[in-house]
């Protein structure tokens, strides 16, 4: 009879395969991730602050009411088609191509009317287009 205790080796956890798998997963994520920002849109958003901004005399104003009707410098455009808006904008701003365009739209204005006004202004060569905002603190009673 063998009464001696046999000494057994403690079981060990081999971490090398685990490290290999993590390394392969890391390489997979690095290869499949794109770091290209071509799809992003760069915007310079206007600030809506309490201070009043200095106005230029050559500002071209487009106002859009809640029904989507256009007004250029307080003159109503005959209809809401983009071609009519383009002709009216050309007549009013024949020499003002460097002037900033301020689009003031009612809060209930259809989104398409604002986009149409911006697109027509861009087609005519205007590059400084701003959307007018109102400070929420001034509208509270």
Q: Tell me the per-residue pLDDT of 7-36, one tens digit each, with 9 for 90 and over.
A: 677 778 888 999 999 999 999 988 888 666
- pLDDT tens readout for residues 34-84: 666 554 545 454 556 655 554 556 788 888 888 888 988 888 888 888 898
Q: How many Cα atoms occupy the beta-carbon half-sphere of 65 within 13 Å?
A: 11
Rounded Cα distance between 91 and 84, Å, is 11
CA distances, 132 to each of 26, 97, 99, 105, 123 (Å): 48, 19, 15, 7, 20
Q: For residue 2, is it within any domain?
A: no
Q: For residue 18, is it within any domain?
A: no
CATH of the domain at 121: 3.30.420.270
Closest by CA to 133, choosing from 114, 113, 112, 119, is: 114
Q: For residue 5, is it within any domain?
A: no
Q: For residue 29, is it within any domain?
A: no
With DSSP H G I counted as helix, E B as strand and the rest as coil, what are the percentages for the chain, rounded to 5? 30, 15, 55
Q: For residue 124, is it within any domain?
A: yes
Q: For residue 41, is it within any domain?
A: no
Total domains present in the chain: 1
pLDDT at 141: 52
* The token pair that represents 131 in the structure block: 């959307």
Q: For residue 86, is it within any domain?
A: yes
* The token pair that represents 74 in the structure block: 């307080």
Q: For residue 89, is it within any domain?
A: yes
């Amino acid at each position: 009879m063998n009464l001696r205790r046999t000494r057994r080796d403690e079981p060990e956890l081999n971490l090398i395969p685990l490290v290999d798998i993590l390394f392969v997963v890391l390489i997979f994520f690095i290869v499949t991730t794109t770091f290209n920002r071509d799809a992003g849109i760069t915007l310079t958003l206007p600030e809506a602050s309490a201070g009043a901004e200095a106005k230029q005399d050559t500002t071209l104003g487009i106002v859009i009411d809640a029904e989507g009707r256009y007004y250029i410098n307080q003159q109503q455009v005959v209809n809401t088609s983009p071609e009519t808006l383009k002709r009216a904008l050309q007549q009013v701003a024949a020499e003002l191509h460097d002037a900033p365009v301020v689009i003031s739209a009612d809060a209930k204005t259809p989104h398409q009317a604002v986009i149409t006004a911006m697109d027509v202004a861009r087609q005519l060569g205007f590059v400084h287009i701003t959307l007018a905002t109102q400070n929420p603190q001034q509208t509270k009673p």
